[in-house]
Amino acid sequence: MNVAELSTNLQIEFKRRKYFVRMETLEQTLSLMKSRLYISADLFVQIYRNDRYNTTNLALIHNGKRIFARDELDGKWHRHTHLLPDIHDFSPEGQITIELSEFLDEVEKVLADLNLP
């Protein structure tokens, strides 16, 4: 996944998932993007990609804190579960390569588990 692909997928997912009320692009160049998909003012998914460093950060943020995430650093993935959001999970499940749509499917499960809108 590179910035161009992620940008396209972001538009598709924003239109497909009706619970997102707003999309905001905070920064975008040919090799970097940072965007947010808002569910409410204090609940959003933040998407960051830097092609130059092969880094991707996909995070669910609530009240200013990460409550779930998947990160790719130099091509290697890990996750932050909603049960232990500050811990890096390098288990086989935590290390799988993930697409934006798959991450958003996981977000929906986390929101249901935490009884969030």
Q: Does 117 score more than 90 pLDDT?
A: no
Give the pLDDT confidence of 8-31 residue by residue, as tens digits: 999 999 999 999 999 999 999 999
The whole-angstrom separation of Cα 17 and Cα 19 is: 6
Q: Does 1 score more than 90 pLDDT?
A: no
Average per-residue pLDDT for the chain: 96
On the 0-12 / 13-18 / 19+ scale of CB atoms within 10 A, 54 is middle
Q: How confident is the model at residue 114 (pLDDT cuts 50, 70, 90)?
A: very high
Token couple for 51 = 């092609």
Q: 62 Cβ partners below 8 Å, 6+ apart?
A: 42, 43, 116
Query: Which residues are paired to 107 by β-bridges?
Result: none
User: Is the CB of residue 73 less than 8 Å from the CB of residue 92?
Assistant: no
